[in-house]
Amino acid sequence: MINKAPDFHTPVLGPDVSRWLITDPSGVYVDATVGGGGHAEIMLEELGDAGRWIGIDRDPEAVEAASRRLKRFGGRARVVQGCFWDLKAILATQGVSGVSGVLFDLGVSSHQIDASERGFSFSQDGPLDMRMGPDAARSAQDVVNSESLEHLIRIFRTYGEERASVRIARAICRAREEKPLRRTLELANLVARQVRGRMVQKTLARIFQAIRIEVNGELEPLQDALQGAVEVLKPGGRIGVLSYHSLEDRVVKQVFRDASQECIGPTDFPICACERVAMARVLTRVRAGASEVNENPRARSATLRVAERLEGGVQRWVCEALLNS
């Protein structure tokens, strides 16, 4: 049964997240993207009286919604406004150093998409904003009106994997010479005119996703944030990450592979000289079933990956070791 929060966000794979993440009912858990508190609520119900939940979100509207929803759990639930790349510092302010589980549910909430004044949606008119929180320095309007043609092409290619990137970026640069683009539907109509009928919806989704990722700096800090989360886990603790597109999922896979790797020395050496031990083991990858996708179409693109922290200290991350070797 899906725990619905129609006014804010319906949590994806709720029961799976709970089953895979909770190892100690009295443990401390972190929700790095608490949103409307949907996953948090499901998991707090499962935890014992001593179990605690610390929710983080960069969006003040999410912090308010989650605080309201989790109020009935009293001191067992804390909601903090901040970015997950500051995870360790945020935990320190809560007097916590090691945790039993960390959840990342990446991307935007349904509330952010549905609130037209936030400017995330290409099907409702609103200001071209797309900032998830006050920490984002530039709005979508700043990006589309100020970035160079080359940079716009790079954004659309890298974060949207859009084939018509050059055509769309050129059209934006021509249009903004006349007057700056200020509204979501202005941009959506302009983009729609650059592609053929059947491609329009997918292209709009890719271009709006690309601008959102640029505005909120979503991808670059993700690797460090996930590594930091593995580091704060106690042995036996678990990290679960829900991602919604291949760019995010690639980073998750890379960090999990890196954490679970032992020897990182040259493969033609007869014995391992690097003495590296794995920090974690990868447990599972879960996709939503047909009935959940039917009830909540957002679940269609979701992938949940879970890894478990092993005994032993924090090692040098493989990518870091390779960079410095």
Ligand X SMILES: C[S@@+](CC[C@H](N)C(=O)[O-])C[C@H]1O[C@@H](n2cnc3c(N)ncnc32)[C@H](O)[C@@H]1O
As beta bridge partners, residue 57 has: 81
- Cα 21–Cα 12–Cα 160 angle in degrees, nearest 5: 110
Look-up of token digits 């179409």: 297
Q: Measured from the CB atom, is 110 or 315 closer to ligand X?
A: 110
Counted residue by residue, the chain has a size of: 325
Helix (H, G, I), strand (E, B) or coil at 33: coil
Least CB distance to ligand X at residue 256 (A): 19
Q: Measured from the CB atom, is 37 or 119 closer to ligand X?
A: 37
Strands (E), the chain: 28-31, 52-57, 77-81, 99-105, 233-243, 280-287, 303-309
Least CB distance to ligand X at residue 132 (A): 4
Least CB distance to ligand X at residue 134 (A): 11
Q: Which two tokens stand for residue 263?
A: 């020897």
Cβ contact 175:181 at 8 Å: yes
Q: Measured from the CB atom, is 57 or 147 closer to ligand X?
A: 57
Q: Measured from the CB atom, is 169 or 226 closer to ligand X?
A: 226
**CB within 8 Å of 57: residues ≥ 6 apart:** 33, 34, 35, 63, 66, 79, 81, 82, 133
Return the closest-CA partner of residue 307 out of 249, 261, 257, 238: 238
Q: Measured from the CB atom, is 72 or 281 closer to ligand X?
A: 72
Least CB distance to ligand X at residue 117 (A): 15
The single-letter code of the amino acid at 80 is: V
**DSSP single-letter state for residue 233:** E
Q: Measured from the CB atom, is 206 or 212 closer to ligand X?
A: 212
Q: Measured from the CB atom, is 260 or 301 closer to ligand X?
A: 301
Least CB distance to ligand X at residue 303 (A): 13
Least CB distance to ligand X at residue 93 (A): 15
**DSSP single-letter state for residue 213:** H
Q: Measured from the CB atom, is 115 or 166 closer to ligand X?
A: 115
Least CB distance to ligand X at residue 9 (A): 4
Give buried/exposed letters for 3-40 (b at 16+ CB in 10 A, else e).
Answer: eebeebbbbbbbebbbebbbebeebbbbbbbbbbbbbb
Task: Write 145-149 long-range contacts (CB < 8 A, 24+).
Answer: 145/176, 145/180, 145/181, 149/173
Least CB distance to ligand X at residue 105 (A): 4
Q: Measured from the CB atom, is 16 or 194 closer to ligand X?
A: 16
Q: Which two tokens stand for residue 25?
A: 């009912």
How far apart (Å, rounded) are the C-alpha atoms in residues 325 and 259?
18
Instruction: Give the interface with ligand X as residue ranges (CB under 6 A).
Output: 9, 11, 33, 35-39, 56-59, 62, 83-84, 105, 107-109, 132
Least CB distance to ligand X at residue 12 (A): 8
CA gyration radius, the chain: 21
